[in-house]
Structure 1
């Protein structure tokens, strides 16, 4: 196997190992109310209507952005960069309902808790918990089972093209 073929093979394997970062109903990105996400202006992705406590790292990688409010985390690995945005307009809560468990520059492993969420507090404030996961490096996403309830760290929820 050539070095180039070997790199491509590793990239394909790693891309398939994207786990659900949270528990909830699986959605297409265009089902999110915020046009920045639904129109794919930041990139393609998917969403989960969050119904859990923890948000976990779906892959190994490096935290390249961690909003102090805890509502959004950017992660980069060898193959891609992606953003996990918890809820809609949750930046307005100024961190209330979120416990950020990582910092920019941290190396994380798949399954590490990156944010703890008090969903009741967020819902009390009238915010939606529909949470987009957006791929910032040009990947195209196919959601495998729209409307299905997924568990945190479940695999085979999306196909990355």
Structure 2
């Protein structure tokens, strides 16, 4: 039987089990998940937080991570500025990035989600408002959500993946995980 683990990846943690990058050790999945033989299905940047799925089933891993299956991924994105309807509509249509046009996305202004404090905290500027949007994409280019919001004039301040397909964070705190039946 396949194993599937839902993990709330904290800010600053690499989406891999070992760190081959620098002389200074960085936090990795092995600091949190002690289940042998599971691997991440997809990635989250070190400076992004939220849902990461891990499995021991190669087919399931491919179905989750491969863009050809178009599994929706939803993100709560704190952006600098106040999104206009034009900016949200541009995200919905697809945004031209340096590697081509993105697929159409779901984009909605949302109330501030009930989240854990981030360490370190997001910078706060009295003179510049910030807002939250929920962005749902069906592809997974490198740093895509950050590049999409920047392309419409809304730099990302904080990025939390809340959902992948039917799987959600479901109350998991940063660093917590649970295994579910597949």
Would you say same fold, with TM above 0.5? no
* Larger Rg computed on CA atoms: 2
TM-score tier, shorter chain, comes to 0.3 to 0.5
What is the TM-score normalised by the length of structure 2?
0.30
What is the TM-score normalised by the length of structure 1?
0.33
